[in-house]
Amino acid sequence: MKAAILKTIGKPLGLEDIPEPLPGAGEALVRMLAAPVLAYAHEVFTGERNYPLLLPLVPGVGGIGLVEKTGPDATRLQAGQLVFCDPTVRSRDDSLSPDIMLQGWIAPTEGAQKLQAHFRNGAFAEKMLVPLENAVTLEQLRSIDPAKLAWMNTLLVPYGGLLAANFQAGQVILVNGATGHFGSAGVAVALAMGAARVVALGRNEQALKDLVNHFGERVRPVQLSGDEVLDNRYIQEAAGGPIDCMLDLLGPIKDSTPTRRAILALRPGGTAILMGGVEAEVDIPYKYLMRNSIVVRGQYTCPRHAPVLMAGLLRGGLLDLEPFTVHTFPLAQVNQAVQYAHEHGGPFQLTVLVP
């Protein structure tokens, strides 16, 4: 089968024939229909982001495909089913503290690299071997273009954060980094879950206007000025009352001030979920957190049941993919796709390989 292979950091991916995997117990072989290309893939492949990878590697994080074969212990998954390939692979020998890797992407610990040594290859290939539990059926979504369904990969990140926050319909949420790729997806998911109001923070005026145009008056944009006192006032005015939850999806910036400001905007008893890439310590007074009963929680990707729930949001029409665009490339043009994703990685834009 054909696959795009990363052999050396700093070198282009090469298209090669590799042996087709044979699924064993607990595994499924999926024929890929659509594989998203992350906007920062270029930074990983050039070494700008120093990700621990076992090379050579077929990269690619998640995707949509059709089950081709299953291991002998599959009881419900069948050949021909449409599935989402969840890239979050967890070790099975410690249910309390499993090692976690993103298949075809990052394996940050010794245990995670053991997982990557087996489930080595990602979605930039004609076929991919995945754990059975990571092939999530989407049979009831067959009417949606698989390339469009590949947006699930992005949308599941903020969805995981909202589930971690126990976010409820009718609550007010602040999305920090709302004008980015994942932040704008967070706005969409919060609204689909019934947010009464989404306070969208960002610096890009046009992107904030686009959020309002796409999603309506429940989105309350705040263009940040850099003046902390002024920005705090704008945030509270936009919220129009207590803020229940904050979802931080900022990129790899070295200034934690925006995150701190967003946490301090929460009501007493509010919850802050950190999912971004901020590369600095967040200075929050101990007594402030204690006296206001603020919960600050980190969340890495999403829990195992999240793709099933998201499929329900899509099936019920609560989450509309119409605003989200895709630009497709064949597998043979993988390097062009990586470059295109690098240049077009903003809100509502996704680059997708169609092997």
Per the confidence metrics, is the pTM higher than 0.85? yes
Can you give the pLDDT at residue 51? 87
Which residues, listed in sequence order, are joined to residue 328 by a DSSP beta bridge? Answer: 352
Token pair for residue 109?
Answer: 């610990």
CB 13 within 8 A of CB 45: yes
Residue type, 292: N
Q: Is the peptide bond before 56 cis (omega within 30 degrees of 0)?
A: yes
Can you give the pLDDT at residue 325? 96
User: Which CATH code for domain 158-298?
Assistant: 3.40.50.720
Can you give the pLDDT at residue 48? 92
Can you give the pLDDT at residue 153? 97
Contacts of 250 by beta carbon, 8 Å cutoff, 6+ apart: 176, 177, 180, 183, 258, 259, 276, 277, 278
Buried b (16+ CB within 10 A) or exposed e, 196-205: bbbbbbbebe
CB 229 within 8 A of CB 253: no
DSSP 291-330: HTT-EEEE--S--TTHHHHHHHHHHTTSS--TT-EEEEEE
Can you give the pLDDT at residue 20? 94
The domain made up of 2-151+324-354 has a fold known as: Quinone Oxidoreductase; Chain A, domain 1 (3.90.180)
Q: Which residue has the tokens 């971690």?
A: 164
Token pair for residue 151?
Answer: 């947006």
* In the chain, domain spans: 2-151+324-354, 158-298
The SS3 of residue 335 is: helix
Which residue in 266, 303, 346, 263 sits closest to 161, CA to CA?
A: 303
Across the chain, which has 355 residues, the per-10-residue mean pLDDT values are 96 96 96 97 93 92 97 96 97 93 93 92 97 97 97 98 97 97 97 98 94 96 89 94 97 93 96 96 94 97 96 96 96 98 95 96
